[in-house]
Amino acid sequence: MKRLLSTAAIVFTVLAGTVSAHAADYDISTGKDPQYYQSTSYEDHYNAQYNYAGENLIDYQIPEITFGLSQSSQAGPANAMGQIQYGLSVPGSQPSSTTYPDVDYSSVSMPSGGSFEYTYRPELTVSDLQQSDGSIATISIARVGLSCKVYEDASTESMAKGAGHYAGSGLWTGNVCLFGHNRGNHPYFNALKRVKIGDTVTYKTNQGTRTYTVTYVGNISSTDYTMLNEMGDNRITLFTCIANQPSLRLCVQAVECK
């Protein structure tokens, strides 16, 4: 009995010390008028009018991010041109009744109140290369006997006369992309299926002649456009259909010889 009482006394002493230590370490008392963070609830901030399923004016009111738009003479979320004024605060606006016009980025105003206009013109245009017969170049792969003229646009009309140049791809520099038929009445790219890695491709325009070495031959999906990408060098990419396989295309890519 004496041993039991001694054990109980020890346990009581330890517990008492533990409670005392915790009480000292975790004092949660607050001073007068404590400051707490404000609610981040959309309903609290926007009076339960936040439209989770659509656009909201508040989504465009970010003072920290002013996208280079003028902040002068603005009476609403859009200026006289109908452009959304990102980053501007519109007092008294109602998010639930606001509609947003499409943004016309071609005439975005600058912070100073001025504007800029830049017209892009590539180094060469189709008209710079176009010959009297309408062609812009000739393409040939001597080893397989492929040779034809190149016409602008990968259209039925162009490919009825030769290879069609994919509009938007390189004309002379960069990645020149050409399409052609492999059978039928205009099989200008019929020999493409016999091309091998290492073959030489010759591309002639009124700017001169470029020669390329074939680095890739393979079948790709008809919806795979990655071979059209610019790669920072001069290359030529040729496409044609594959007989009885409408979901595939034969692709040959060659890089300019150094």
Domains defined along the chain, listed by start:
56-119 (no CATH), 126-256 (2.40.260.10)
Helices in the chain by DSSP H: which ranges? 2-25, 42-46, 126-129, 156-159
Q: What is the pTM of this model?
A: 0.55
CB-based burial of residue 72 (10 Å sphere; 0-12 exposed, 13-18 middle, 19+ buried)? exposed
pLDDT tens digits, one per residue of 45-79: 666 666 666 666 655 554 444 344 333 333 333 33
Residue with tokens 């017209």: 119
pLDDT for 87: 36
Pairing of β 248-256 and β 208-221: antiparallel
Can you give the pLDDT at residue 124? 86
Report the run of H or E that residue 205 belongs to, with start and end: strand 200-205
Query: Would you give the end-to-end CA distance of the chain in angstroms?
Result: 101
Express each pLDDT in 90-131 by its tens digit: 444 444 444 444 555 555 445 555 555 555 556 789 999 999
Average confidence (pLDDT) per 10 residues, the chain, 258 residues: 61 56 56 61 61 62 42 38 37 45 52 53 84 97 98 95 95 96 94 97 97 97 93 96 93 96
